[in-house]
Structure 1
Amino acid sequence: MAAKLIGLPLALFCTVLAAPGAWAENCQLSVSQSRIDYGAIRRDAFVERASMVLGTRSLHVNVLCTEPAPMALRFIGVAADGQGFMFGRQGRFRLSLKHTQVDGRAIDWAATHLPGEPVSGQLLPGQTLVARAAGLPVVGLRLTARVDIDTELPADALEVRSETRLEGQGSFELVSSAAPPNQ
């Protein structure tokens, strides 16, 4: 994600990549777009507030396997806090998996460090989400999900003297059940 401050312009971009996963021979992960551009933002366009929420942007993640495989995802990026990833020096972005299906069947998510407990589908720093249905891990050939990206900046991030570019980056990774969640 990136942005430019205008008043000075602020260019906001989020770069999202697909990392080669642990199952490269069996499964391929792809994202519908590798870059989200928030465009130029003028600080004078915003009312005085402690923070500024940029509009939600979405992309799609797809996993296609040649043989049935367990489906688990994580996002690798610089943690802003336990709830999101760094966007520029002070902001953060959050990722939420929505409308997720494996082989056309709706699924839920569980975090590997909280087995059995369903989670909202939010990808948190250091967390791996495992696809589940009826409380059990799901094995399948195809996973599809919409990823909603919500970005927030503190108001003082817009106080710049010249055009400034803000970015957040990271990559999605398909995780083998043998890989530890902190890798």
Structure 2
Amino acid sequence: MVAKFKGIGGVMLCMLLMVQGARADDCRLSISQSRVDYGVIHREALVERPSVALGTRTLHLNVLCTEPSAMALRFTGAAEGQGFRFGREGRMRLTLRHAQVDGRAIDWRMAHLPGETASGQLLPGQVLVAGSPGKRLTAQVDIDTDLPSDALQVRSETILEGLGRFELVSPAVPLSR
């Protein structure tokens, strides 16, 4: 994600970079874009409040396997509470929505609590498991980013970025017949 904040004499650039093309045995993970750019944001246009939400950005995630497989995902990046660090003080939250395996809607499960359903929010250190195996997983990834207002107090061009990557955690294990 990239956002540019123009303040008195300064600009802030913010970006989230994600790795594309992760593999796990016979499966391949891809995302629709590896960089999200928030553009230039003028500090003067922002209402004074404790934090500034940069808005939701959406990506599309796909996993394609050669054989029906169990699929599990995680996002790795610097942890920041219930999200991931964005710049020195900001936070980004990633949520998987509208997930389908082979065209059928699925629920997410937490790897460490197999019977429990999960909301689809990718949390630091957590692995989400697709509720059913298959050959193709698709999901919408919503990214919500916010910064404390004082992060906009810059004197020169400043770059803020959030770095991380999606990982296909489970090996592609063919279903037993």
Is TM > 0.5 for Structure 1 vs Structure 2? Answer: yes
What SS does the corresponding residue of 1:29 show, helix, strand or coil? strand
Tell me how many residue pairs correspond in the alignment: 170
Measure the CA separation in 2 of the matches of 1:120 and 1:36: 23
Give the drift of 1:18.
3.0
The 5 Å alignment of 1:130-149 reads 130-132=129-131, 138-149=132-143
Give the drift of 1:13.
1.2
Matching residue of 1:103: 102
Measure the CA separation in 1 of the matches of 2:171 and 2:64: 17
Matching residue of 1:18: 20
Matching residue of 2:11: 9
Measure the CA separation in 2 of the matches of 1:165 and 1:177: 36
Using the size of structure 1 for normalisation, the TM-score is 0.89
What SS does the corresponding residue of 1:17 show, helix, strand or coil? coil
What SS does the corresponding residue of 1:89 show, helix, strand or coil? coil
Q: Pick from 160, 165, 169 the counterpart of residue 171 of structure 1.
A: 165
Give the drift of 1:5.
2.3
Measure the CA separation in 2 of the matches of 1:62 and 1:151: 22
Matching residue of 1:156: 150
Query: Does residue 60 of the first structure (1) align with residue 60 of the second (2)?
Result: yes
CA RMSD of aligned residues (A): 1.4
Measure the CA separation in 2 of the matches of 1:60 and 1:112: 22
Measure the CA separation in 2 of the matches of 1:142 and 1:71: 9
Matching residue of 2:92: 93
Give the drift of 1:56.
0.4
Deviations 1:107-164 (A, max 9, x none): 00011122211111000000000011xxxxx110000000000000000000011111
Using the size of structure 2 for normalisation, the TM-score is 0.92
What SS does the corresponding residue of 2:144 show, helix, strand or coil? strand
What SS does the corresponding residue of 1:157 show, helix, strand or coil? helix
What SS does the corresponding residue of 2:24 show, helix, strand or coil? coil
What SS does the corresponding residue of 1:49 show, helix, strand or coil? coil
Structure 1 unaligned residues grouped into runs of 5+ = 133-137, 179-183
Give the drift of 1:77.
0.7
Measure the CA separation in 2 of the matches of 1:141 and 1:98: 18
Matching residue of 1:135: none
Give the drift of 1:19.
5.8
Give the drift of 1:177.
5.9
Matching residue of 1:71: 71
